[in-house]
Amino acid sequence: MRSSATPKGAVKPGLEESERTARLYRISQRRNHIQTDRLFAKLMVMQWLGGIVIAVWLSPMAWSGSSIQPLWHIWAATCLGGVISAAPVLLAWRRPGRVVTRHVIAVAQILTSALLIHLTGGRFETHFHIFGSLTFLAFYRDWRVLVTATVVVVVDHFVRGVFWPQSIFGELAAGQWRWMEHVGWVLIENVFLTISIQQNLTETLEVAKRRSRLESINAEIESQVIERTAELTEAHQQLLVTSRQAGMAEVATNVLHNVGNVLNSVNVSAEAVAGKIRHFRIASLKNVAQLLREHEHHLPEFFTQDSRGKELPAYMVQLAESLAEPQKVILQEMKSLQNNIEHIKQIVSMQQGHARTSSVLETLSVVEIVEGAININSASITRHGVTLVREFEKVPPVLVDRHKVLPILVNLLSNAKHALDHAGEDKRLTVRVAMGGKDSVQIKVIDNGAGIAPENLTRVFQHGFTTKKDGHGFGLHSGALAAREMGGKLIAESDGVGRGAVFTLELPLQTTQPSS
């Protein structure tokens, strides 16, 4: 039975849809912020190492003729680059998704761009690192991060453009307003990035709205399921009362099915006898009798002088031989009919012996109960060409209600027999009785038939579930309930479709009646 509590992660039905939408939107944004923080943490480390490589390989050429020694570039790339990268990496690791983290990353990323521009002697190509940095920062889907980054770009370009133009433009004397040209291109890119961010946020909000609607529908369905579960719980006790009666109906159904199988044989024998009788040469015998009646006063002369009378003895011998053959067949079929009728009487007699309405606990032999179920199914098992194997260990008797156990076993044997319909020539059904531990006895019904899909191993006990075209999905369900009433259990096992199945009925060794 499902719990009435709201499942973890589900939305309570009382919350407004707009609140759910806002919450889902915030969750989506936070997840994106955390992922982007981790992306930049890796990127900062790579840029720091790249800056050291540039300082060693490219800076001496870019700053040739300058009074700055190459070693200073290496120290700047190593130490300054490490300081710039340390804070964002640490925050991305310890405080991912926070507002301060992404703004610190924005500042550090632009400062890294500034350091790389300096290391390359202000090469024009390195300025594109700023545009790439802004594009990556747009992954946050937060225009405020672009504002922070742009402010750092403006300050950096203004200070270095005015006081140290060689560091940013690669020239000792650059135009006084040249830094504004670079800032202008950055602002133009920000316009397009802001539009892109706004579109992305709109799509994210729309996704949150759709998911919110789905959660609202799911919450309503969950509420209905809880109500239906309560109704099913109320009906459970009634089902327990009727399950035993339904189980007895299952026994009667199987008995009638077995009687029907025997009646098929009776019908075949009756048809064979009727066919032989229809072909009896009665007309020829009547002709002989009529001929003898006409010559009854002078039979000696008829047999010695009349041509028909002379042929009559030989004809009667042939007639007697032709009647003897069908007589033999008829006698054989009649013997088969007697055996089948006796079998039907045994099945009906057994059913009458089991047809009790009172619930009586008896100390019974497990093997005796199993043999009773086998006898009920024996005709059908034989007719389907199934090889029955008995593996009975010595087990103590059990205190059970015979009329609860028997329907379970009859149904298990019947199901196993049907599962073997497409098993080829080797149709093997094994019934095993053994101890299931110190306190229980196990009865296993094992077949090498159709098998059970893994997803159906628990569903087979659900009411109404069946894989047979003419099945009603009640036998295993009622059997599982009856086993539980007796303090036992019914278990299904299979290695998969086409690999057979094992059904185990476990009964407790007890001396008192189990509680319901």
The CATH number given to whatever domain includes residue 499 is 3.30.565.10
CA distance 175 to 197: 34
Domain assignment present for residue 258? The answer is: no
The verdict on 212 and 65 lying in the same domain is yes
Structurally, the chain folds into a number of domains equal to 3
* Residue 225 pLDDT > 80: yes
- Answer whether 0.75 is exceeded by the pTM: no
The verdict on 375 and 340 lying in the same domain is no
Domain assignment present for residue 271? The answer is: no
Question: What is the arithmetic mean of pLDDT over 27-32?
Answer: 89
Highest mean pLDDT of the ranges 190-204, 343-357, 404-418? 190-204
Residue where a domain stops, chosen among 334, 354, 374: 354
Question: What is the arithmetic mean of pLDDT over 86-112?
Answer: 90
Give the pLDDT of residue 324: 67
Give the pLDDT of residue 390: 92
Over the chain, what is the mean pLDDT?
Answer: 77
The verdict on 346 and 389 lying in the same domain is no
The verdict on 94 and 195 lying in the same domain is yes
The verdict on 407 and 329 lying in the same domain is no
Band (pLDDT 50/70/90 cuts) for residue 443 is very high
CA distance 337 to 340: 5
The verdict on 369 and 456 lying in the same domain is yes
Domain assignment present for residue 397? The answer is: yes
The verdict on 44 and 189 lying in the same domain is yes
Cα–Cα nearest to 147, from 204, 187, 185, 113:
187
Highest mean pLDDT of the ranges 207-211, 253-257, 305-309? 207-211
* Residue 432 pLDDT > 90: yes
Domain assignment present for residue 184? The answer is: yes
The verdict on 332 and 425 lying in the same domain is no
Give the pLDDT of residue 391: 92
Six token digits for residue 113: 């761009």
Task: Tell me the per-residue pLDDT of 181-200, one tens digit each, with 9 for 90 and over.
Answer: 778 888 888 899 889 888 98
The verdict on 98 and 125 lying in the same domain is yes
**Locate tokens 């067949």: which residue?**
329
Residue where a domain stops, chosen among 183, 204, 224: 224
**Locate tokens 């407004």: which residue?**
16
Domain assignment present for residue 2? The answer is: no
Higher-pLDDT residue of 301, 382: 382
Find the range with the poorest average confidence among 51-65, 290-304, 318-332, 335-349: 335-349
Question: What is the arithmetic mean of pLDDT over 445-464?
Answer: 84
Question: What is the arithmetic mean of pLDDT over 352-363?
Answer: 61
Domain assignment present for residue 417? The answer is: yes
Give the pLDDT of residue 515: 46
The verdict on 293 and 408 lying in the same domain is no
Give the pLDDT of residue 63: 65
Residue where a domain stops, chosen among 354, 373, 398: 354
Contact between 110 and 144 under an 8 Å Cβ cutoff? The reply is: no
The verdict on 292 and 387 lying in the same domain is no
Question: What is the arithmetic mean of pLDDT over 327-331?
Answer: 69
Give the pLDDT of residue 54: 82
The verdict on 324 and 288 lying in the same domain is yes
- Boundaries of domain holding 53: 17-224
Contact between 11 and 216 under an 8 Å Cβ cutoff? The reply is: yes
Query: Exposure pattern of 50-69 as b/e (b: 16+ CB <10 Å)?
Result: ebbebbeebbeebbeeeeee
* Residue 372 pLDDT > 60: yes
Domain assignment present for residue 206? The answer is: yes
Please provide the distance, in angstroms rounded to a whole number, between the alpha carbons at the two ends of the chain: 17
Domain assignment present for residue 388? The answer is: yes
Higher-pLDDT residue of 441, 283: 441
Q: At what angle do helices 143-163 and 178-278 cross, to 10 degrees?
A: 150
